[in-house]
């Protein structure tokens, strides 16, 4: 163990003694290249970071644009559906109005037919009543004519009888 410790201590002292000499012996171009590499790494990291941020911003903008387009499409569909429903309601209203008009026309025709039928029935009833009155009057006239004829016959018979009496008395 002592040996290992002594060996490690020797290596440490030797490396400490040699390090300043080794660094002085390194060429200056190596230090410049190292600084350039560090600067280049720093720039690359900044550029990569900027590119990543730009890419993320572009992705966010693209997602916002897609969402806006989807919302516009959804609004357009909703408006189209509203327009279709409004057109369907208008068509339904028109059909309902047409059916109402047809029914109203049918009712008017039916009312006219009913009025005509009632009018015809009234006319027929009045005609029947008039015919009945005419028949009654004709029957009364016939009866009156028969009475008048009977009275005429009676008077003629009386006149004949009176003439016969008068002739008999005059003779």
**Is 78 domain-assigned?**
yes
CA–CA separation, 131 vs 126, rounded Å? 8
**Is 92 domain-assigned?**
yes
**Is 5 domain-assigned?**
no
**Is 40 domain-assigned?**
no
Q: Look at residues 125, 92, 118, 46 and name the one whose alpha carbon lies nearest to residue 133.
A: 125
CA–CA separation, 171 vs 162, rounded Å? 14
User: Is the per-residue pLDDT at 140 higher than 80?
Assistant: yes
Per-residue confidence at 29, pLDDT binned at 50, 70, 90?
Answer: low
Q: Residue 142: left (phi > 0), alpha (psi -120 to 50), or beta? A: alpha
**Is 22 domain-assigned?**
no
User: For the segment 104-134, what is each residue's pLDDT rounded down to a tens digit?
Assistant: 999 999 988 888 888 888 889 999 999 999 9
User: Is the per-residue pLDDT at 60 higher than 90?
Assistant: yes
* pLDDT for position 15: 63
**Is 31 domain-assigned?**
no
Q: How many CA atoms lie within 13 A of 116 on its CB side?
A: 6
Dig out the tokens for 69 from the structure.
């387009």
Q: Which domain holds residue 160?
A: 45-170
Per-residue confidence at 83, pLDDT binned at 50, 70, 90?
Answer: very high
User: For the segment 148-171, what is each residue's pLDDT rounded down to a tens digit?
Assistant: 998 889 998 888 888 888 888 776
Structural domain count of the chain: 1
**Is 17 domain-assigned?**
no
CA–CA separation, 9 vs 1, rounded Å? 12
**Is 136 domain-assigned?**
yes
């Amino acid at each position: 163990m002592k040996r290992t410790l002594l060996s490690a201590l020797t290596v440490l002292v030797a490396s400490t003694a040699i390090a300043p000499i080794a660094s002085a012996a390194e060429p200056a171009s190596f230090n410049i290249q190292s600084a350039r590499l560090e600067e280049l790494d720093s720039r690359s990291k900044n550029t990569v970071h900027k590119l990543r941020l730009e890419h993320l911003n572009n992705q966010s903008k693209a997602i916002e644009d897609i969402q806006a387009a989807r919302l516009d499409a959804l609004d357009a569909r909703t408006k189209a559906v509203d327009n279709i429903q409004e057109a369907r309601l208008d068509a339904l209203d028109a059909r309902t109005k047409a059916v109402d008009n047809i029914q109203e026309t049918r009712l008017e025709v039916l009312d006219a037919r009913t009025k005509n039928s009632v009018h015809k029935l009234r006319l027929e009833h009045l005609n029947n009543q008039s015919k009945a009155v005419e028949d009654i009057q004709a029957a009364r006239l016939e009866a009156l004519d028969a009475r008048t004829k009977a009275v005429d016959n009676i008077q003629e018979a009386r006149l004949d009888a009176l003439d016969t009496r008068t002739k008999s008395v005059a003779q």
